[in-house]
Amino acid sequence: MDGYALDDEPAADDLLLGDGSGLSAEQLSRAEERRRRRDVIEEGAPREGVDIIRRVEAAVIVGVQLPGRTSADVEASLDELEALLDTAGAEVVERVVQRLDTPQAATYIGGGKVGELRELVAAHGADAVVFDDELSPAQQRTLEERVKQKVLDRTIVILDIFAQHATSREGKAQVELAQLNYLLPRLRGWGTALSRQAGGRTAGGAGIGGRGPGETQLEVDRRRIMRRIAKLRRDLKDYARIRETKASERERNRVQVAALVGYTNAGKSSLLNRLTGADVLVENRLFATLDPTVRRLPLDDGRDIVLTDTVGFVRKLPHGLVEAFKSTLEESLTADLLVHVVDASHPEAESHIVAVHEVLEEIGADAGAEQLVLNKIDRADPATVEALARRVQVELDADPVLVSAHTGEGIEDLVERIGLRIPGQRIRISAHVPYARQDLVALAHRSGQVVKEAHGDKGTELVADLDVRAARRLRPYLDVDVFAEEPEDWERETGT
């Protein structure tokens, strides 16, 4: 069967209604309601884009417990899949878990389970089955044939959320590239949706109740997608070049960068707002932020650094997506310090830390300095936070700062810690310091490298490499006022 010609199978809908399917009267009537609404929707206009999930209302989700994973692991991952689907606008009506020694080649789960799934889907009037793991194109196709309904996986859900939320040109291009790369090997199955995207239904009645597009149409689609992929790659290279230019401008201005990274919904944007008075969208939703935001952060010692906020990570983040977002994430790659934000009130906090480290490793950003921040301590149990802090100290050799972006608790500590972890820049100064201010000469010795020191009749002639803070205190006696031209508006350059 080609395409999601769902209405080919009206029988599946009628199959179990009113029989001993085990559903409550309420569940049955909701299933009936969904069917009615969907009929209306299917009549409606074709939608734009590859928006597969937006067409899903009610999903059955499937997790597999492989050796080495506890059932709690599987449930936690399914909780997250449910949250992802919720973000994408779909409701989960049932979850199915199977224990397996190894995934089945043809259908991932076992044959008996597939039959069960088919019945569940029909009984609930669900319009999709979503697997928590990535399926191969062949598995997906086989499952669709047997379950008689659309079969999706976690990857496409995440891709769809990203597609819904991306706002910048670069973000949109990155997501589209990842989507098309995912789609290309699955074209046989996705033909219908694509033909619609191309502007109308394919000749031959590929729409409701029709057959999928023929081979020729598939070839056309495939070539068109490949051309589009090539174009997106070129565009992304251009965007990356622009980004590089900005980064090297910042380099020239010797601005240092701290990047907020962390699991989605950890509170990165909230912290950026709290630390810099920014006004970035904060939502109790996964992937609220997709586009990087850059803000100036004044440190206690008078230095200004740049703080960046970017897309959050999640377990099993599709590889294509990480690849596509590499240039956005480059900000973290080149940062002087990674500020890794953790939702300390989340029961899965530790596995989130691990997942974030995995993604950082994948993009090659795991080498630099990292400051762990345990956020949301206002809503977490203090004993739990303490225990978590102790465990990360022992296991990761991290010295976390405890904060609440909401109440502001710990924020001063965090700023101080960032200042300590980001090495002060040194600048070369030359000065004539009067004998009355020998304390400043002593300061130069303490906080930097004195290159030359000579005693003349007016005072001490000094050449030294100092951190900016110390240098600023010598300002009245500098031979050249290096602070006269401080950059002022670089934080607006990526403006939002």
Secondary structure E strands in 234-303 = 256-262, 293-298
Q: x/- contact string, 385-414, with ligand GTP (CB under 6 A)?
A: -------------------xxx--------
Strand partners, 401: 373
Please tell me whether residue 139 binds ligand GTP under the rule CB under 6 A: no
Mask 214-253, x = binds Mg ion (CB under 5 A)?
----------------------------------------
Q: Which of 100, 247, 282, 427 binds ligand GTP (CB under 6 A)?
A: 282
Query: How many angstroms separate the CA atoms of 425 and 302, rounded?
Result: 12
Q: How far is CA 350 from CA 71, 288, 346, 384, in A?
A: 17, 21, 9, 12
Cβ proximity of 41 and 58 under 8 Å: no
Q: Tell the smallest beta-carbon distance from residue 312 to ligand GTP (Å).
A: 2
Work out the angle at residue 330's Cα, subtended by the Cα atoms of residues 247 and 361, and round it to the nearest 5 degrees.
145
Cβ-based burial of 50 (10 A; exposed 0-12, middle 13-18, buried ≥19): buried
Stretch that binds Mg ion, among 7-15, 207-215, 268-276, 314-322 (CB under 5 A): 268-276
DSSP reduced 3-state for 257: strand
What pairs with residue 92 in β-bridges?
59
Q: Give the sign of the dihedral formed by CA 372, CA 375, CA 378, CA 384.
A: negative
Among 92, 271, 288, 466, binds Mg ion (CB under 5 A): 288
Give whichever of 386 and 461 is closer to ligand GTP, judged by the CB atom: 386
**Residue closer to Mg ion (CB basis): 155 or 273:** 273
Is 202 known as a binding-site position?
Answer: no
The alpha carbon of 219 is separated from its chain's Cα centroid by a whole number of angstroms, namely 33
Question: Given candidates 87, 98, 181, 269, which one binds Mg ion under the rule CB under 5 A?
Answer: 269
Which is nearest to 132 in space by CA: 89, 84, 192? 84
Q: Binding to ligand GTP (CB under 6 A): which residues in 324-383?
A: 375-376, 378-379
Q: Does 266 bind ligand GTP (CB under 6 A)?
A: yes
Answer for which of 98, 289, 328, 332 binds ligand GTP (CB under 6 A) is 289
When the beta carbons of 55 and 165 are compared against Mg ion, the nearer one is 165
Known binding-site positions for GTP: 262-269, 287-291, 309-312, 375-378, 404-406
Known binding-site positions for Mg(2+): 269, 289
- In the complex, the residues that contact ligand GTP under the rule CB under 6 A are 262, 264-270, 282-284, 286-289, 312, 375-376, 378-379, 404-406
